[in-house]
């Protein structure tokens, strides 16, 4: 085996040959000590050119090759494949770009010749120092774990399990389904939400490849593509999930009533309960923080009532460790809490005064909500006018959540399906409700509102007079008022009627409303934030999980192998959530194929144990969290699965301990010296 280099010069028809005398260059390069042969061809990338290339190398003892031709962006992979065909290592081939960087941009032929020679000689010197890199493959887990069982998690699990792959869904609450289960009709097309969700949950139930763990918390999560480990705490349910048939007998018998968080405090639930009717798994769960039996009291009501002997108070929290190749994070988001802002009168008496957040209001439209689906005031009467104040918290959050307008218009429409005298006014600044379906929704709200006439009785007049001058009484309301500054809209309340103050075109107005709905923005959930911290995921300015690339890789997180689905990335409507869920599942499926190993990149960095002093500078600059300090050995270890080969750590290392494969200091030094020569 010779260490000399075989050189191929491509004429690229006349693209190169017209400016550079290939015969002369060939003759000159042949004289170089390191060169075994120089062969030129009319068009090396063409089929006959590739045959020529392979023929020259086949059965030869040449292992290192330079191709002086076009840009490697065009044909590096072509000649790398040729190298493979003839049993040579593809990393021992280097291209000199003498077309884009030389003949196409240089005016004088003499100059082009000199530059082509320098570039080719630099490639020869460089390839002499190339290493025979190996394309490594490692074993990997192909199972997928979906964290968060809302609609995004459910849809990604269904798709990811489609080819028989094992998927586990981890859900904090006792049931799958998430926020969509709280709605009755889903905007923009006002489709029945439970009718959409229930069949999807049934599919999960029927799917033997999907394992569901509800009522659990994630204690630890770490790893990288192909190899994650998740420690899950399964909270004791105190109910045998296999025995329970969801018959409600225990719920009826339970003497403890507490405020329902699912209904945002607008109803009560029992200490043993189901999250909502038709939940999945359809199994009761004991809230051990309020149950008499688990808080030291004496009660056995549920145990006695259960016809299935399913109550099991011997249960304790269990830890389970899961291993998987990819994680889909679909832990959702939370709503901004308007209690922080005094301008909306959203205080302890807010409910009493019929001031709601739109999440609360959504429960009033739900058939299994606190009012059985009737939009009525706390006193049971139908509202005459409902004022929706949009963009609550937008200024504090610093961004438009993007999905609340549509949901609020949908709720406004749902609110008018009951009493014929109810009208709805939306106070908005920018309306984010686009597309065909969004536009149709706006038309429907407007049309419905036009049929209403506002009753101006004494109650309204009283509120109006209380507001003082500049108060407008709307008798035929437009359904939407575009205000000057949405952040200055305020709500005051008196005797069950609220007044909303706003200004339009510099003039102040106010109207009376007997129900006020605060359309709150979306903020990162605590669960999402905690998981992002554990996985060291990059966050957006608002604190949501950031996409690896907002346009090109919108469902990939900053850590390879962790995908993002739904509003963990920021406010999303249902269809957007499902699109991202399916994109996530697709990402996991295509990266990890059962029976196949995981191919690793060859051009990665590695740290030398002897030279490394564990100063952590590489850890700080690595954009992929690939560099980590091994505390036992007190050195930096660069994870070759996570490393993307940028080489930033190499330039940062003060001890010269890190090397970038294929871009070593020696290789670059050799190239720099020669490229400047001549």
Partner 1 sequence: MAEVKLLTFVCNWCSYGGADQAGGLKIEYPSGVRLVKVMCSGRVDPQLILQGFRKGADGVLVLGCHPGDCHYKSGNYSAQKRMLLLEPLLAQFGIESDRFQLNWVSAGEGERFGKVVNEMYNKVAALGPLKLTDSAVKEETA
Residues at the site binding partner 1, with contacts judged by CB under 8 A: 71, 73, 97, 99-102, 104-108, 111-112, 114-115, 118-119, 538, 558, 603, 621, 623-624, 644-648, 650-652, 660, 663, 665, 668-669, 671-673, 675-677
User: Cβ of residue 642: shortest distance to partner 1, in angstroms?
Assistant: 12
Beta carbon nearer to partner 1, 505 or 552: 552
Q: Which CB, 195 or 672, lies closer to partner 1?
A: 672
Crossing angle of helices 665-675 and 109-128, in 10° steps, is 160
Between 99 and 141, name the residue whose CB sits nearer to partner 1. 99
CA geometry: angle at 444 spanning 443 and 448, to 5°?
A: 120
Query: In the bound complex, what is the minimum distance in angstroms from residue 119's beta carbon to partner 1?
Result: 8
Distances in whole angstroms, Cα of residue 155 to Cα of each of 101, 329, 537, 564, 581: 49, 12, 23, 12, 6
Cross-strand partners of 7: 38, 66
Specify the residue, 29 or 581, whose C-beta has the smaller distance to partner 1: 29
Decide: 166 and 209 in contact? Cβ < 8 Å. yes
Q: Tell me the C-alpha distance between 557 and 179, whole Å.
A: 23
Please identify, using beta-carbon distances, which residue of 95 and 397 lies nearer to partner 1: 95
* Residue whose CB is less far from partner 1, 233 or 662: 662
Query: Strands 167-170 and 210-213, how do they pair?
Result: parallel
CB of 132 to partner 1, least distance (A): 19
Sequence-ordered alpha helix ranges (H) in 523-662: 526-535, 574-591, 617-621, 648-652
Least Å distance between CB 676 and partner 1?
4
Q: Which CB, 383 or 561, lies closer to partner 1?
A: 561
CA distances from 241 to 145, 197, 244, 245, 320 (A): 21, 21, 5, 8, 17
Closest approach of partner 1 to the CB of residue 97, in Å: 8
Reading phi first (left if > 0) and then psi (alpha if -120 to 50, else beta), residue 424 is in beta
Q: How far is the CB of 192 from partner 1 (least distance, A)?
A: 43
CA angle 424, 427, 433 (to 5 degrees): 90
| Least distance CB 672 / partner 1 (angstroms) | 5
Minimum CB–partner distance for residue 608 and partner 1 (Å):
16
User: Tokens 């009826």 appear where?
Assistant: 252
Closest alpha carbon to 84 in 133, 11, 123: 133
Q: Is the Cβ of residue 100 or residue 312 nearer to partner 1 in the bound state?
A: 100
- In this complex, which beta carbon is closest to partner 1, that of residue 106 or of residue 335? 106
Q: Which is nearer to partner 1, 100 or 334 (CB)?
A: 100
Residue 221: CB minimum distance to partner 1, A = 22
Q: How far apart are the first and last CA of the chain?
A: 31
- Maximum alpha-carbon separation in the chain: 106
Q: Phi/psi zone of residue 576: left (φ > 0), alpha (ψ -120 to 50 degrees), beta? A: alpha
Give the integer Cα–Cα distance in Å for 325 and 549.
21
Q: How far is it, in rounded angstroms, from Cα 426 to Cα 117?
A: 72
Give φ, ψ of 340 to 5 degrees: -70, -20
Asked if 585 and 605 touch (Cβ cutoff 8 Å), the reply is no
């Amino acid at each position: 085996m010779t260490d000399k280099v075989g050189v191929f010069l491509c004429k690229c028809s006349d693209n190169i040959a017209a400016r550079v005398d290939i015969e002369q260059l060939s003759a000159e390069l042949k004289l170089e000590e390191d060169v075994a042969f120089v062969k030129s061809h009319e068009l090396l990338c063409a089929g006959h050119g590739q045959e020529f290339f392979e023929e020259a190398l086949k059965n030869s003892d040449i292992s290192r090759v330079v191709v002086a031709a076009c840009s490697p962006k065009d044909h590096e992979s072509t000649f790398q494949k040729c190298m493979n065909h003839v049993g040579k290592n593809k990393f021992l081939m280097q291209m000199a770009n003498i077309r884009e960087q030389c003949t196409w941009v240089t005016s004088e032929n003499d100059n082009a010749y000199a530059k082509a020679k320098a570039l080719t000689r630099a490639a020869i010197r460089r390839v002499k120092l190339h290493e025979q890199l190996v394309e490594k493959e490692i074993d990997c887990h192909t199972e997928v774990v979906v964290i968060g069982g809302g609609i995004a998690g459910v849809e990604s699990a269904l798709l990811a399990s489609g080819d028989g792959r094992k998927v586990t869904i981890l859900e904090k609450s006792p049931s799958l389904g998430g926020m969509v289960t709280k709605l009755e009709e889903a905007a923009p097309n006002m489709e029945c939400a439970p009718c959409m969700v229930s069949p999807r949950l049934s599919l999960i139930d029927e799917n033997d490849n999907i394992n569901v763990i509800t009522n659990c918390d994630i204690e630890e999560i770490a790893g990288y593509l192909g190899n994650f480990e998740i420690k899950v705490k399964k909270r004791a349910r105190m109910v045998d999930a296999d025995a329970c048939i969801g018959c409600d007998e225990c719920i009826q018998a339970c003497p403890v009533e507490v405020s329902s968080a699912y209904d945002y405090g607008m109803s009560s639930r029992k200490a043993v309960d189901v999250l909502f009717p038709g939940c999945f798994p359809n199994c009761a769960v004991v809230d051990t923080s309020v149950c008499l039996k688990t808080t030291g009291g004496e009660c056995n009501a549920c145990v006695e009532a259960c016809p299935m002997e399913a109550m099991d108070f011997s249960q304790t929290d269990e830890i389970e460790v899961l291993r998987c190749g990819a994680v889909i994070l679909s832990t959702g988001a939370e709503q901004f809490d308007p209690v922080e802002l005094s301008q909306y009168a959203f205080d302890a008496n807010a409910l009493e005064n019929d001031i709601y957040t739109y999440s609360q209001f959504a429960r009033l439209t739900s058939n299994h909500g606190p009012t059985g689906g009737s939009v009525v005031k706390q006193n049971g009467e139908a509202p005459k006018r409902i004022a929706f104040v949009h963009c609550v918290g937008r200024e504090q959050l610093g961004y438009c959540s993007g999905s609340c307008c549509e949901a609020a218009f949908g709720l406004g429409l749902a609110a008018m399906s009951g009493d014929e005298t109810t009208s709805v006014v939306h106070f908005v600044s920018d309306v984010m409700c686009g597309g065909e379906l969004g536009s149709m929704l706006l038309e429907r709200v407007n049309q419905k509102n036009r049929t209403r006439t506002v009753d101006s009785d004494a109650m309204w007049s009283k509120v109006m007079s209380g507001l003082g001058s500049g108060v407008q009484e709307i008798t035929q309301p437009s359904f939407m008022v575009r205000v000057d500054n949405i952040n200055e809209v305020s709500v005051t309340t008196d005797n069950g009627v609220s007044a909303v103050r706003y200004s339009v075109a510099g003039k102040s107005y106010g109207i009376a409303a007997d129900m006020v709905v605060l359309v709150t923005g979306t903020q990162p959930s605590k669960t999402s934030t905690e998981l992002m911290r554990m996985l060291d995921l990059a966050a957006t300015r608002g604190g949501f999980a950031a996409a690896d690339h907002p346009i090109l890789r919108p469902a990939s997180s900053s850590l390879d192998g962790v995908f993002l689905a739904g509003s963990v990335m920021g406010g999303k409507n249902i269809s957007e959530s499902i699109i991202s869920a399916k994109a996530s599942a697709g990402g996991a499926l295509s990266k990890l194929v059962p029976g196949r190993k995981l191919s690793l990149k060859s051009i990665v960095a590695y740290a030398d144990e002897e030279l490394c002093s564990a100063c952590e500078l590489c850890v700080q600059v690595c954009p992929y969290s690939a560099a980590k300090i091994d505390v036992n050995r007190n050195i930096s270890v660069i994870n070759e699965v996570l490393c993307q080969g940028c080489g930033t750590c190499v330039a940062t290392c003060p001890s010269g301990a890190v090397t970038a494969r294929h871009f070593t200091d020696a290789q670059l030094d050799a190239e720099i010296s020669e490229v400047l020569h001549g």
